[in-house]
Homo-oligomer: A and B are copies of this chain.
Amino acid sequence: MIELYELAGQDPSARFSPYCWRIRMALAHKGLHAKLIPWHFGERRLPGGNMQVPVLVDHGHVVADSTAIARYLEDAYPTGPSLFGGENAEAHANFILAWTDQVLQPALFPLVAPDLPQHIKPDALPAWRATREERLGMSLAEAAARREQYLAAAHAAMGPLRHVLANQAFLGGSEPTYADYTVFGAFQWVRCGSGREILAEDDPIFGWRDQLLDLFDGLAGDCKVAEAA
């Protein structure tokens, strides 16, 4: 049995971790079923002593960190569709992962963070707020007040993504790869974490996201959209 420990909100149907979405999509891509085990900020019951989700437990074998989990799934389940498309493709995808972690998600963070408290259990909220406000360098309310400025910066950061998706269906080409799921995770964070629409309908990123929301019988599209605070 495969188990996936994933971040959940106070509403048990809320799923807003970008890293957990990478793995939800990767498991579906491989045709694998996992038992989903919700975890909330402040809880400490993750296997292997891990403090962050996602954590995958495959027949007792514990793998933590989304990138390591994706790598594990590719090796452990070689008969399913490849997540990457070969060695060169995986190496190139690593750049897209690094860009998502270092550029895209930091650009989206100040847009998402002010709406996230709705998902955090009251007893975990003070610690959650303190770490996020330290990362922002300001209060959540101040970040919310600068929303337009952050939105413009995020759209500028999305330039290379937009350019590519104007010319091909997916980052992986005609079909999605783990590179798509990685970037998509960031947009699920916005959608399921914040609930605010940041993409215009004529944005190539919008159409790409729609395709991914429909994939695997609407796995991601069926997820509860947050209510903007």
Q: Closest B residue to A169 by CB, please name it.
A: B91
A155-193 vs B, CB cutoff 8 Å, 1 = contact: the mask equals 000011101100110111110010100000000000000
- Report whether A88 and B89 are in contact in the complex, using a CB–CB cutoff of 8 Å: yes
A101-117 vs B, CB cutoff 8 Å, 1 = contact: the mask equals 11100000000000000
Nearest CB on B from A100, distance (A): 9
> Bound complex: CA of A179 vs CA of B98, how far in Å?
15
- Report whether A91 and B172 are in contact in the complex, using a CB–CB cutoff of 8 Å: yes
- Report whether A159 and B91 are in contact in the complex, using a CB–CB cutoff of 8 Å: no
- Report whether A160 and B98 are in contact in the complex, using a CB–CB cutoff of 8 Å: yes
- Report whether B174 and A92 are in contact in the complex, using a CB–CB cutoff of 8 Å: no
Whether A88 contacts B172 in the complex (CB less than 8 A), given A96-B95, A99-B99, A102-B159, comes out as yes
- Report whether B95 and A160 are in contact in the complex, using a CB–CB cutoff of 8 Å: yes
Nearest CB on B from A167, distance (A): 7
> Bound complex: CA of A96 vs CA of B96, how far in Å?
8
CB neighbors of B among A4-55 (8 A) = none
Whether A171 contacts B92 in the complex (CB less than 8 A), given A85-B87, A98-B160, comes out as yes
Whether A208 sits at the interface, judged by CB under 8 Å, is no
A76-87 vs B, CB cutoff 8 Å, 1 = contact: the mask equals 000000101111
- On chain B, the residues within 8 Å of A174 by CB distance are 87, 91
- On chain B, the residues within 8 Å of A3 by CB distance are none
- Report whether A91 and B161 are in contact in the complex, using a CB–CB cutoff of 8 Å: no
Q: Closest B residue to A162 by CB, please name it.
A: B98
Nearest CB on B from A164, distance (A): 5
Can you list 14 contacts pairing A with B, beta carbon distance less than 8 Å?
A: A84-B88, A85-B88, A87-B173, A87-B174, A89-B92, A91-B170, A91-B177, A94-B164, A95-B99, A95-B179, A98-B161, A99-B160, A102-B159, A102-B163
What are the 8 A-B residue pairs with the smallest beta carbon separation, nearest first? A85-B88, A91-B173, A92-B92, A89-B89, A98-B160, A88-B89, A98-B163, A99-B160
